[in-house]
Structure 1
C-alpha cells in the first residue's frame, strides 16, 4: 500500500478516495496514516521540506503499512507494533525509534478525533514497549561516516584529477577546504575573495553558528585554480546543478566519491573503503581524514582543528564577543594539507 502524493506540488499530498477519519467510526491504520501524512507535509518548511516528506513517506510505506494498514485503530495492539519494530530495533535503532514515534503520533491523532480515547497507546515506550525492547540508547551504537585513511588521499586525488565533471571539482574543493558538503554544494561566487584567498561561509549555513560568526576559510592554490576554471552560470552558484537546478543535488558529492572509487577499481586499485566498515568513503568522512592529518601529520592543536572544521560548540560561539579564527595559522595548515594530498610522491600503496 502506498501513500498518496500530489506530484504537481512540492510536498502536499492529496486524499485520493480515502475516507475522512472524522466520518468513520473505527478507521483502519492506513486511513489515519494518510491524514497524518497530509498534516505533517503541510507543516514541513524550509530547504529540506521535500526531504522530510520523503522520509516520512518511506517510514510509512516501508515499515508501517505492510503489516498495519488494514488493522482498525481500535484493535491496534502492542503486539502489532512489536511485529514492526523487532526486526529493525537493534540493527536500525534510529530508524526504528522514528517508526515507533510515527505510529504513536498516528494513534494520538486518532484519539484527538474522538476515537480510542479510552485505549492506551500501543506505541508508548513507558510501561509498555520498555518491557519488550532494550532502551534505544542501549541498542544504538555510535557510528561515524565511512572515511579513508588520510594517507590514501594522494592516490585519491590522482584518480579524481583524471576525471572531468562539476561534481568531481566540487568534491576536490570540499576536501581541500575541509568544508561540509552542503557548504560546497550551495557555495556562491559572492562568498569568495580570490585576491585575499578567502572563502567566507555565512553563519546561516553553519549548524552551531546561525546568527553567529561567518566561517573564514583560507583557500589553497588548487582551489583557486578550480574556481577560475568554473564557467559562470546565470545564477550566483559556483557549482550549478543539472537540468536547470540552482545547486548540485544533496547526494552529488557522495556520488562523486563513488565514481572515483569505481574508476580506481577498474584500474586495478583497491578502491577507497573505510578500513573499519569496508564501506565506500563518504563526503562527511573526508573531514575525518583531514582531522587525522591535522593531528597526526601537522601536529596542530585540537582548538585549531575545530576552528578549521568549524566545529566550535554553540556555547563557545555564543560567549565569545570576538571569535578569533586564527586565519593565518589555519592558512599554513591548509597549504600543508594541500601540498600533502596533491604531491605525486606520496603513495599509500607501498
Structure 2
C-alpha cells in the first residue's frame, strides 16, 4: 500500500472492495480488509521515537468518517506529547453503575466484617435509599447534587441512617476513584452545605442519666417477662443488644461466673469475656424457668428457636414512657465509670468491648483487664440495685 494523501478511500470505494488486503486512506489511517464489508481500522503514529499501530475498531461498527475523526484525535494526542495508547486503554475501561460497584465493594469488604448483621445492613441501606436514585448511574457521573437528593428526605427524619448512607455512598465512590472509574474522590465534603444542620445530640444514641437507673430498674422488675429480664441483663453487663439477644446457656460458666461471647457474635470479631456480678447471675436464675427444650437461647423470643428482636426491647422502654434507646445504656454505663469511679478509661472501654483505635497500642496490649472488670461490674450492679 502507498501512504498516499488523506482521502484515498471513499465510502463507495470501500463498498466495492473485494480483495482482502491493507488499504491506506493516507496520513497513517489503514483499513485491513478481511472480506467484502469486513475488516478493521488502524492508525499508525510516531510517539516517543517509536512507530505505533493503534486499533480503532471494526469496519462493521465504524464508518470512514468516524475512523478519520478518531485517527485525527490520536495524531493530535501524539503531537501534544500524550501517549495515545494509554489514552485508548483508558477509554476501553468499562465504567460500572453505582449498583454494580456497590455490590463489588460489599463482596470485597465482607471478609473483614465478622458481624453478619453489619454485612447485611451495609448493602440493605444502599438498596433501600441509594439504589432507587443512583443505582443505574455510572459511578463516573455521580456528583454532589445526586447524593444530596438521596439524603435530603431522610436527613432530619432518620439522621443516624442518613449518616450511614452518606458514609457508604462515599466508600463506593472512593473505591471507584481508586480503580480509575472516576476522576475524583467522592464529593462528600461539599454535601453538608446543601443539607440542613442535624439537631445535635450528645453521642448518637439517647441515653438515660445514670442517676435514673436505680429507679428505672425498680419499675422494670415490677413485672417479669423474658424481654424485661433481657433488658435488665443488658444494663447489668453493659453488653450490646445483639450480644444479649443471641446469648446462649452454653456460653455461660455459672461456677466461674463468666459469660464467654464467641468471636462471631462480637462486633470487633474477637471473643469477649464478661464477668457476671451477683445481680447478673440473679437475672439468669430468674430467666431459667423460661428455658425451652427446643433452644439454647437464654432469652428466647415468642418462637423458642428465634431470639428476641431489637424492637421488642425498645417496646418495653416505650411502654414505660422512657425516651431512651436500648443502645444508650452503654453510654449510661460509660458516663457512670467516668464520673463515679476511679477506674482508668481503658478498663471501662474493655468492659464495653470497644476496639482499641490505636493499632500500635492494640498490638502491645495483652490484657483484657478481666480481674479489674470483675470488680467494676460488681460496683456497677451495686449502684444500679442498692440494698
Q: Please say whether Structure 1 and Structure 2 have the same fold, judged by a TM-score greater than 0.5.
A: yes
Match of 2:235 among 158, 171, 175: 175
RMSD (CA atoms): 4.4
User: What's the counterpart of residue 6 of structure 1?
Assistant: none
The answer to whether the 8 A contact 1:170-1:184 is kept is yes
Q: 1:253 deviation in Å? A: 2.9
Higher relative contact order (CA 8 A, sep 6+): 1
The answer to whether the 8 A contact 1:44-1:52 is kept is no
Give unpaired runs (5+ residues) of structure 2. Answer: 1-96
Q: 1:161 deviation in Å? A: 0.4
User: What's the counterpart of residue 323 of structure 1?
Assistant: 367
User: What's the counterpart of residue 238 of structure 1?
Assistant: 298
String of CA shifts for 1:280-312, please: whole Å, max 9, x gaps: 212221111112222322332223222322225
Match of 2:204 among 144, 147, 154: 144
String of CA shifts for 1:91-128, please: whole Å, max 9, x gaps: 446256258559969xx8xxx9xxxx9xx89x9745xx
Q: 1:154 deviation in Å? A: 0.9
Match of 2:166 among 97, 100, 105: 97
- Say whether residues 1:297 and 2:340 are aligned partners: yes
Higher Cα Rg, which structure: 2
Match of 1:249 among 309, 318, 324: 309
Q: 1:78 deviation in Å? A: 5.4
| TM-score normalised over the length of structure 2 | 0.56
User: What's the counterpart of residue 216 of structure 1?
Assistant: 273
The answer to whether the 8 A contact 1:181-1:284 is kept is yes
User: What's the counterpart of residue 84 of structure 1?
Assistant: 149
Please list, as runs of the form range in 1=range in 2, the aligned pairs for 1:61-76 lying within 5 A after superposition: 64-65=132-133
Rate the CA distance shift 1:133–1:41 in 2: closer, same or farther, 3 A.
closer
The secondary structure found in structure 1 opposite 2:327 is helix
The answer to whether the 8 A contact 1:94-1:140 is kept is no
The answer to whether the 8 A contact 2:249-2:298 is kept is yes
For 1:312 and 1:35, locate their aligned partners in 2 and report how far apart those are by CA, in whole Å: 31
User: What's the counterpart of residue 276 of structure 1?
Assistant: none
| TM-score normalised over the length of structure 1 | 0.61
For 1:43 and 1:155, locate their aligned partners in 2 and report how far apart those are by CA, in whole Å: 47
Give unpaired runs (5+ residues) of structure 1. Answer: 1-31, 263-271, 273-279, 345-350
Rate the CA distance shift 1:216–1:124 in 2: closer, same or farther, 3 A.
closer
